[in-house]
Structure 1
């Protein structure tokens, strides 16, 4: 199966480097994306908006030959909202979406709220991120993360999401829960927490615990790869 890998804020396609071997050993073809404005720390991000990121991912899905079947779309953190928008745009091409530590987007709402400087969002201090998010990342891993971090375009988080197809509700979802548990997420959904109410509209959702911090692609890459492989197997089985 073709697997499109969407990084979250501050990261490019190389953030999936330690996950990809697990996926490719299972026979999958991977497409790790570097989204517009994340090409380098010196890239021009001044005109990049949410639509540019969604369009780039849709183009990656469209580039997969239809004869190769549907595509698994994986989004980390804020990338989960992007993956959901792609399922909205291409419900026929997306076999399943996988959200790693993230939630589906909400029509008419921005993807998040982050401190920005001069139109871009720098990686916050470790203190601002918190130890729960950074769990299992030692000093060397944190130093590597900060060295690779690229400011994200502010408008990707502030532009409102526009969703148009109710068929997105039919695209199955796997939620991988790292710094929160599946039980936590179900409690937030049942309690009416606004950021997660879109889950109530989805017709097929599975929850997978992967206890670690917010970046399992760095802290538990092999386990994350195996969880994505399991989601791909479910997508393949559903396709018959």
Structure 2
């Protein structure tokens, strides 16, 4: 049983990823009667050659376009993974009236003025710059050797402009939009603790007034390691009856 009104679920992958990152989740959401759309943000397609010109505004605008393209009367659930939280927060700020719920997948909404890395250089930040033993043993928990190999093969450099640029937020109504943070590589308790300690990327947790947290113990990439459980959570907040792991908003 599903909600009677259509629900458009917009899935935004994090750094290095395209729409393909959600391939295991898309059919699970469709089976629950939802209308999911996965995005490849500018500069993250394999054949993109001009990543150096891509900005945070380009990424935010791509998410805005997806929100605006939702069918008339559809409820929009915005799902953002990892670094996609920055453009997703900007897009939410500009479309508070269209977004019914936001799901943050092992990430959090940002505050005005936040930039991921203002000092990063070059045109693209490759996965290899991040991948080390600690990265693989920590955030990659739950992934098979084949999934790890697929990630290495398909990842493309993250446009560095999206890391340098600061989020500009102006509509305070975004602070009252219902949200769910899916805590995976870190627990919900960890998220709260680091936010209390002043972690800049988690400052939004102190601002937003309708934010719940759900623990899903796995690595940083639950769309691969726990696609069924992640789909259950998304479906739950989307209003699909009888689904565990989330609540209708």
TM surpasses 0.5? yes
Residue 219 of structure 2 is aligned to residue 213 of structure 1: yes
| Aligned mates of 1:62, 1:207 — CA distance in 2 | 27
**Who is 1:45 aligned against?**
51
Task: Give yes or no for contact 1:80–1:98 (8 Å, CA) kept in 2.
Answer: no
The change in CA–CA distance for 1:131 and 1:41 in structure 2 (over 3 A counts) is: farther
Task: Give yes or no for contact 1:75–1:98 (8 Å, CA) kept in 2.
Answer: yes
Deviations 1:88-115 (A, max 9, x none): 0100000011000111122112134796
Residue 134 of structure 2 is aligned to residue 157 of structure 1: no
Long gaps (5+) in structure 2: 1-6, 241-245
| Aligned mates of 2:55, 2:87 — CA distance in 1 | 12
| Aligned mates of 1:61, 1:111 — CA distance in 2 | 24
**Who is 2:26 aligned against?**
20
Instruction: Find the partner of 1:87 among 77, 86, 92.
Output: 92
Task: Give yes or no for contact 1:75–1:82 (8 Å, CA) kept in 2.
Answer: no
The change in CA–CA distance for 1:57 and 1:67 in structure 2 (over 3 A counts) is: same
TM-score (norm 2): 0.89
How many residue pairs get aligned? The number is: 236
| Aligned mates of 1:113, 1:233 — CA distance in 2 | 38
**Who is 1:196 aligned against?**
202
Long gaps (5+) in structure 1: none
**Who is 1:119 aligned against?**
123
Instruction: Find the partner of 2:60 among 50, 54, 57.
Output: 54
**Aligned-pair distance for 1:194?**
3.0
**Aligned-pair distance for 1:81?**
2.4
Task: Give yes or no for contact 2:87–2:167 (8 Å, CA) kept in 1.
Answer: no
TM-score (norm 1): 0.92
| Aligned mates of 1:206, 1:114 — CA distance in 2 | 33
**Who is 2:190 aligned against?**
184
**Aligned-pair distance for 1:128?**
5.6
| Aligned mates of 1:205, 1:39 — CA distance in 2 | 32
**Aligned-pair distance for 1:14?**
0.9
RMSD over equivalenced CA pairs, Å:
1.9
**Who is 1:223 aligned against?**
229
